[in-house]
Structure 1
Amino acid sequence: MRLASVLLCVLFSFVSPKSTLDGSSSHHVQRRDTKPKSNYTGVIGTKLEVFPTWFVSAGDNVTINCIVHNDKMKYGDKVYLHLTWTNMRPGNRTKKVLVSQPASAGIAFELNPVTHEHQGVYTCDDNGSLPEVYVHDWHSMLWVEDAPPKTSMEVMSHNRIQFFSNEAFTLGCQLPNDNAQWKMMRFNFWKGTVTECPGQVSSDHRLSSTITPVHLDPYILYWCENPAGDRSNSLNVSIASVATVVLESPPLPVMEGEDVMLRCFLRDKKTKEISFSFHTSYDKNNRLIDNRLGRGPFEQEGNFTLKAVTKADEGVYKCEMPEGGGSLDSWLSVKARPVEE
């Protein structure tokens, strides 16, 4: 989903309500309605948008928008929206209300520039002033990278970060020393919570955890941290809770000049067996990748190899099978090869 340092008390500036920015990419955190609607006289639909993205470097400019997109009963002038922030300080994650405004006005919160003190969980919800009105709450993590990270996290069991519901996978962090205070953490985009991963095992300077995801955990961010605030890189794991297809692509950034193979896997709805399909199409940034073997939109070998990748190959990839539909999106990151003297 490059940075380090001890997390300090937060200092935010440049807060200004304004309309949603046009022409910018955003990360939308979606969640299912878990509250009964029968007791509510009105429902307000909101969304949280992070421009240009939730995964940033120190010094970037970020705008966090909390806006209403559905208010049929016109409660927007009576209900106040909160933009709240929970810090990333290990062992002391405190919550703070940053802005509170009428829902009809929306909220735009600007971080110019972003620092390590700004990272954390941002939530868009209401203050409960009208208890008969249900306001959807949304969550996003603002992750400011360490450069370089203090330790490295990887997927030990697979060459992908997309998994089926109830498919076990193992994550590991190669620790810089034998300090047993390192913990593997995760952020649930659905629930907005930061928790420790279960069953963590420390051995030979490596911290690992085997996780079996459930369908209610569609997007989880994983990382390792210690009490001083040092962190590893992060892995944004996607769970195909409904889809029967997942994409295999490198979980970590690849080096320029390397060959990268993409593969698609299908899980049978009844038997739950995972198989490899020979008829698969691949998209990059929502556009079909040209078939380099000239056999139409589907690769007969089932996989697709990107030869000698460059920064131009970086982007969002997905695969699709005639018998199973499409996979979730997966980001392929390409890093520059070091200059040799």
Structure 2
Amino acid sequence: MKIFLLLIVKVLLRSHTCAEDAVFGRIIPSRLQLFECESVSFTCEDFDDSAKFRVLRKTSSKVSTCASNWGMTKDSSCIIKHAYQEDSGEYWCEAQDQRSSNTVSISVTENTICSAGSVILESPTPPVMEGDDVTLHCRSKRKSSNFIADFYKDDLIGSSSTGEMMIHNISKSDEGLYKCRISGAGESAKRYLAVSERHKDSDVRSDQVNVLLFFLIKIVTISLPATLLVFVLRRAFGKQASKHDDTLTSTE
């Protein structure tokens, strides 16, 4: 009898847990194995209408949310248009109250068509000076007039349909490793962009100007009193000479 009651309790608990899971939701991937440059989508299903949810993932780098820098959201789905090996990892749905759905593991296999080398990132030849406007070019060996280029410095910093991205008024904080991706073509190798400080040259010139001004001021402060003294003395001697001449004239 006891065994029968225990079995009933287990069945009830399992059905209650399943009911909760069904209400909470689950994540459904469109595929688990894919090659680079292929697309994959994740859908959050069976969520309570009042529950707000999002798709998260854990890769070798960190835990992040969809649309932060690796995917795009559409309705209740997260879509990666062109997956790469670094997109391999664990994915799940999470509600606003931090309850999590089941977790699925995605594996992305290298594709020679998408390997680095078919895409290159062109940056200006050094030196790049602070305050300059710098243009990055993302180019592919494949000739295409219709493509999207994504530019990265750690994370995504911009996208372009022309393959070009401009950094206005560049500063030392923009210095670092850059790379780009072209949809369906691949990813470039990382390229270091060095930025030189412009104020060093201006400081040298400013010091030179300051030295010249110092000497000019010294010359003026020394020569001006001397010039005034000479002028006063000449005037005084001129008056005395004039009086002396007048005295001689009257005597004669």
- Using the size of structure 2 for normalisation, the TM-score is 0.34
Q: Answer 1 or 2: which has greater strand percent.
A: 1
Q: Answer 1 or 2: which has greater helix percent.
A: 2
Larger Rg: 2
